[in-house]
Structure 1
Amino acid sequence: MSNRSKKATMSLILFVLPAFVLYVIFLVIPMLQGSFYSFTDWDGLNKSYNLVGIQNFIEAIRDDARFRNSILFTLKYVIFAVVLQNALALLLALLIESQKRAKGFFRTIFFMPNMLSIIISTFMWVFVFTKVMPALSQFAALKFLNISWLGDPNISFWTIMLVSIWGGVGTLMIIYMSAIQGIPQHLKEAAIIDGASPFHMLRYITLPLIAHALTICIFLTMNSSFKVYDLIYALTGGGPARATQVITMNILEEAYQLNYRYGYASAKAIILFLMILIITIIQVTIMKKREVEA
């Protein structure tokens, strides 16, 4: 290796080293520690603990009804979030790209919620649902607006979904628009000359050529939905009666609020990690097979 190559390699190492050190300190080491504590009965406070093997995992899956309910609610949330956010984002991207004017205006309008902090925007929505809706219902005699948006288990899920879509669709829309703009123009023109309808254009030209964007957006939505916490905590706090409690809230409640069972909560976190890993591998594998080169 020449001196020039050695200097380039050393420069690269020095450039990457700070980020790598921070990655190891704040991600790898805590992950390894959490994995170890998941096999113990540590309470997170005392220095002493006992190894319990896989007992924490067995208890979480077999005996913990609250944890199972949080898994079911999380899966329900993930499914609807992935489908609705991506469908709406793709629809908006297609509609905006079909416009010859005001593209920048519409991009700004739909992306603006992403510029706000999740907590700030969520508290804004709490104000809307608890103050604005009842007042509007009384002022305009719209009785259907005067409902328990956050207190009814059957309604609170769709309230959460509304806020989730409002806050997450903008980023996905931008990704889809970038992918649509990357479709070669000659393919579109050839399809139009051949008499392809808008539906056939979408099915046989647009969707296959933006499959890579679909893979990315579904991955991002799925990953963030499995780990959602702040949005639901600010809206409902997991209520009413833990009806909207997701896995992350159940884990933190177990570790720091309810029983101080840090080892048991670590086992639940490992289960969540394995769920995300397995589902992500399946999703990316399936989606990658559908991608085509332009």
Structure 2
Amino acid sequence: MLNRRVRSTISLILFVLPAFILYLLFLVIPMLQGTYFSFTDWDGLSKSYSFVGLSNFIEAIRDDDHFRSSVWFTTKYVFFAVVFQNVLALLLAMLIESQKRAKGLFRTIFFMPNMLSVIISTFMWVFVFSKVIPALSEYSALKFLNLSWLGSPAVSFWSIMIVSLWGSVGTLMLIYMAAIQGIPQHLKEAAIIDGAQPMHMLRYITLPLIAHALTICIFLTLNSSFKVYDLVYALTGGGPGRGTQVITMNILEEAYLGNNRYGYASAKANILFIIIFVITIIQLSIMKKREVEA
């Protein structure tokens, strides 16, 4: 007979095993295969292919103007998305937490966009940008709204940003609210008695004590922003031209939509992975140090 500890270990392994098998089949093995094919000229269909070494990576970085422009657009999107999403979510969290009534109602209202599918909510925003806002501009004094919201690369970027904020702030807000609720009440009361102003409360009490939430939220927004696809595709399709094409759209186009350069697309995907990995490591190392100091 097996003792209790061995039986417990076996039962834990059996519980974890199905998820681990799925993890291997749908994440680890495809990732390793993609890394392997990034050094080949495979088209994704034929049985034969040749090893090309680092030429795919060199071509993507040195010669592919479309890829470089998609990297630049994605980088710009990531920067503004991380800043705006976290700032707005934190402000909303502090504002709602400062209220004595209807906290649940406000939480529900701001979280509701997260309950909708990204594609459905984005199609709704396409209608708003193409029909509702032009009508407001035409039949009211809001003439400044008469812009090509989805037809101009410069304006389309901010249209994408608006929809991104609308759909993602609710989740981050809840994380910040949970962190704010965990701040000891006696610290707030002592600061108020000492005459601390709201900005001092924010700088010396709130931000240091919710540093762990900042780490989590910035990590989430960094990863989701670098991998954004469906939102941009449903809003602009990467257009006009390639003015709003993100890296993920460029990779998919290279692999499947006419080019059939699966090996080359895999190299681009690996470049994206390296970018995300390096930035994430830097972000976590910096933020974790601030948590320790706090």
TM-score of Structure 1 vs Structure 2, range by shorter chain? over 0.9
1:200-257 Cα shifts (integer Å, max 9, x gaps):
1110000000000000000000000000000000000000110000000000000111
Q: Which residue of 2 aligns with 1:28?
A: 28
Aligned to 1:48: 48
Q: CA deviation at 1:106?
A: 0.6
**1:185–1:95 distance in 2 versus 1, CA, 3 Å:** same
Query: TM-score, with normalisation over the residues of structure 2?
Result: 0.98
Distance 1:292 1:278 in 2: 21
One-letter identity of the residue aligned with 1:158: W
**CA-CA distance at 1:135 after TM superposition:** 1.7
Report whether the alignment pairs 1:138 with 2:103.
Answer: no
Q: CA deviation at 1:139?
A: 2.0
Aligned equivalents of 2:58 and 2:170: distance in 1? Answer: 40
Percent identical residues: 80
In 1, the alpha carbon distance for the partners of 2:166 and 2:206 equals 25
The alignment's TM-score, normalised by the length of structure 1, stands at 0.98
Deviation at 1:264, TM superposition (A): 0.1
- The unaligned stretches of length 5 or more in structure 2 are none
CA–CA distance in structure 1, aligned partners of residues 76 and 138 of structure 2: 33
Distance in 2 (alpha carbons) for counterparts of 1:266 and 1:154 = 30
Structure 2 CA distance for aligned equivalents of residues 123 and 20 of structure 1: 36
1:255 aligns with 2:255: yes
Q: Tell me what 1:182 maps to.
A: 182
Q: Report the equivalent of 1:77.
A: 77
Cα distance in 2 for partners of 1:155, 1:61 equals: 28
> Is 1:245 the equivalent of 2:279?
no
Gapped runs of 5+ residues in structure 1? none
Following superposition, the deviation at residue 293 of structure 1 comes to 8.2
In structure 1, C-alpha distance between the alignment counterparts of 2:123 and 2:7, rounded to whole Å: 52
Number of residue pairs the alignment of both structures matches: 294
State the 1:292 CA deviation.
Answer: 4.4
Work out whether 1:121 is the aligned partner of 2:118: no
Query: Distance in 1 between the 2:228 and 2:69 partners?
Result: 16
Counterpart secondary structure, 1:291: helix
The residue aligned with 1:108 is 108
Secondary structure, in 3 states, of the residue corresponding to 1:51? coil
Q: Residue in 2 aligned with 1:157? A: 157
**Using the alignment, how far apart are the partners of 2:25 and 2:38 within structure 1?**
19
What is the CA RMSD across the aligned residues, in angstroms? 1.3
